[in-house]
Structure 1
Amino acid sequence: MEIDFLVTVLLSSLSSAAILLIAAMGLAVVFGLMGVINLAHSEFLMMGAYAALTITKAGVPYLLSIPIAVAITMAIGAVVEILIISRLYGRLFDTMLATWGLSMVLLQLAVLLFGTATPSINLPQFNISIGDYQLAGYPLILIGVAVIMLILIYLLMTKTTYGMQARASIQEPEMAQAIGIESSRVNTFTFALGCGLAGFAGAVLLPIIPATPSMGMAFAVKSFLAVVVAGPVALTGTALTAIGLGGGASITASLLTSVAGEVFFFIITAVLLWRYPMGISAKWRRKL
């Protein structure tokens, strides 16, 4: 095989893994850290995309629209946590039903507001040449975005007062309240953070994936499986599974067919869950 082809396949697989990691990071926070299954995750991703699209079309630079979209989805996530999720902690099945219902409401609301068309922000696209091969430049930028995103979230959760309070509120809520931590407020922010990360994913993926009401469904299943396979070490475990599953599926698709890539993803996921039912990180010493 030509070295140019191998480099092209490697970079393409890394960009696919980065996209999966960006899409899954919100779930890693909400499900991996809080134990809440948010079946409306894909709709928060969709809301982030539509928010960035609407703001950009209003004349705001695209890069500035991204933090605004994150703020909007975080605000909506905080409202959802206060009105719905906070009443259902410890009731996993009820939480799933509630967020499933919320996802249908948000999906239909998006259809009513925006229709089913696929508008785009028409950002200038560029390609990178590697010998006789070319790769779209923006997906490669997302590799760096994913790395920075992972580092910042890891530092937030491990090196800040909020991070320690968040983990205490989730792991030992009664003890956290006894030492003065306002668990309800911390949990609200943590859930909002997860929703904001989903909104961030929708906003940064907008240049390569047009906004549609169902756009998040393309990532929801794979993101959820990546987080489940990762296990209790939510952040570093999800990063590893995103690279292994997303990157491996991309390599398989490049060498064979896109269908083979999808088959690879789900077969390897099934094998890992059979081999490690509690996740691949169940016996790791690292806790985040």
Structure 2
Amino acid sequence: MAIFELIYQFMNNFSFLILSAVGLAIIFGMMGIINLAHGEFIMLGAYITTLATASGVPLPLAILLAAAGVGVFGLIVDRLIINRLYGRTLDSVVVTWGISMILSQGILIIFGPSLEGSSTPLGSISIAGATYSTYRILLFFIAIVMLGIIYWLFMHTKFGLYSRATMQKHDIANTMGINTNKMYSLTFMLGAALAGLTGGLYAPTMAVSPTFGSAFLMPSFVTVIVGGANPLIGTSLSGGVLGVVNSILDILWGTFYGRLGLLVVAIIVIRLLPLGFSGLVEKKLMRGRGI
């Protein structure tokens, strides 16, 4: 039973960390923008999903609408505000914090302190006398599939090629005819859409309120910091390692110590691996190629 509980906790924590962090990791890794409004983008996705399902839209379609809606909103924010912050990492912290405050307070004024949500779908399954949420197990596989799709997008498409070129050498990519400002806008839109998708996926599992995104912000930043600049390698590795740590501490001592363990691991990794897991992997690959 303890084994099943550990596996379930790992699947739950891994999917939470990956889905929370991947949009933030793409924006930070590709653009160098620290998006403190990431939690509010997730919150917007939860609100769109909840309002859509209350109007009779099926949950899967409502989640896709949330991703698309927040993605379009992210594109608008980028064109109006973020595009003036390219290369200004510290300034982006202040500006996106202001955006987060505007969004959370605006939602509070419009919809009030909470929104009536729907129950978690798909019921539960029983294994060895214990019950586990089928929907949360499904979220684990959704996180795996999403990582695969993002890998394909960045490694096997023209958009991915241009994005990686822009990330590695902005000036050279620009001189080669790549519209780097357009790539940044599309990247921010993609990161926002993934945040909206996360909010939509978790809307049926949590109370939907203007502070909905705050539960995701700290774990997502820890995952990105531990993972490093590469949003593909780093996020996957940090999600796996932190998922194991969080799961073990959750079972032994509870949720509080699980979250505390994430911070301790982040401090240790930053001290030993300043570039995160992705920096370590890339260094090993370069040594293997004799570079």
Q: Is TM > 0.5 for Structure 1 vs Structure 2?
A: yes
- Aligned equivalent of 1:9: 6
Contact 2:246 2:261 (8 Å CA) reproduced:
yes
For 1:107 and 1:161, the matched residues in 2 are separated by: 36
Alpha-carbon distance, 1:212 to partner: 1.1
Structure 2 segments unaligned to the other structure (5+ residues): 287-291
Report deviation, 1:125. 4.5
Query: 95, 99, 112: which is aligned to 1:98?
Result: 95
Kindly provide the CA deviation profile for residues 95-145 of structure 1, in whole angstroms up to 9, marking residues without a partner as x.
111101000000101101111124212354411111121111111111100
Deviations, residues 179-201 of structure 1 (Å, cap 9, x unaligned): 22222111111100000000000
Partners in 1 of 2:259 and 2:57 — Cα distance?
A: 37
Residue 16 of structure 2 aligns with which residue? Answer: 19
Aligned to 2:197: 200
Counterpart among 122, 130, 134 of residue 131 in structure 2: 134
Q: Does 1:176 align with 2:167?
A: no
Corresponding residue SS for 1:56: helix
Alignment of 1:70 onto 2:37 = no
Three-state SS of the structure 2 residue aligned to 1:77 is helix
| Cα distance, 1:263 vs structure 2 | 2.3
Matched AA of 1:55: A
The equivalent residue for 2:260 is: 263
Residue 218 of structure 1: CA displacement? 0.7
Contact 2:20 2:219 (C-alpha < 8 Å) held by counterparts: no
Residues 74 and 189 of structure 2 are in contact (CA less than 8 Å); yes or no, is this contact kept in structure 1?
yes
Aligned mate of 1:59, from 50, 56, 61: 56
Q: Shift in Å at residue 219 of structure 1? A: 1.1
Percent identical among aligned pairs is 35
Q: CA deviation at 1:215?
A: 1.1
CA displacement at 1:82 relative to structure 2 = 1.0
**Offset at residue 257 of structure 1 (A):** 2.3
In terms of mean alpha carbon deviation, does 96-105 or 27-36 score higher? 27-36
- Verify the 8 A CA contact 1:8 1:130 in the aligned structure 2: no
Question: SS of the counterpart of 1:263?
Answer: helix
Q: Residues 219-252 of structure 1: CA distance to partner in whole angstroms, max 9, x if unpaired?
A: 1011111101111222121111112113321221
Q: Partner letter of residue 194 of structure 1? A: G
Amino acid at match of 1:166: S
Contact 1:118 1:212 in 2 (8 A): yes
Deviating beyond 3 angstroms after TM superposition, the runs of 4 or more aligned structure 1 residues are: none
Q: RMSD of the TM alignment (CA)?
A: 1.5
Give the Cα–Cα distance (whole angstroms) in 2 for the partners of residues 276 and 182 of structure 1. 33
Relative distance call for 1:63 and 1:238 in structure 2 (3 A) is same
